[in-house]
Amino acid sequence: MTTLDQMIDDFGFLEDWEDRMRYVIELGKALPDLDDAEKTSENKVQGCASQVWLSVSAGEGPDPVMTFAGDSDAFIVRGLVAIVLQAYSGRKASEVVAFDALDLFRQLGLLEHLTAQRANGLRSMIQRIREEAARRMA
């Protein structure tokens, strides 16, 4: 799986919107499949036009390290999931709560080109992840 820093560098070389979308799709193809047992109604992200599932696990303590896994039934959305997972997974809960991945998507030049439905779904994914982290800190 490509690291977040590598993704940022790669997007920096892609000037054309179509090239960026192809790269998003490639990232989605490289995303490990979520086990079917994890594709539950509890893990389904509400607010996404496509089906999106997020699985969450956390370490111990008042500020646990969060690990996220996810999947989607749509190629582009699956790539967006891959970026979101790289942005948040492996961080402490306090870092997850503080980090706004929408800024990352602006930096990558993706946010302004997403359809309204995809942008809403992206916001739903990010909100869900940040809420899960906040809940684990309580």
Active-site residue set: 48
Q: By C-alpha distance, which of 116, 128, 130, 103 is closest to 52?
A: 128
Taking each helix axis as running N to C, give the angle between helix 17-30 and helix 4-13, from 0 to 180 degrees, rounded to the nearest 10. 150
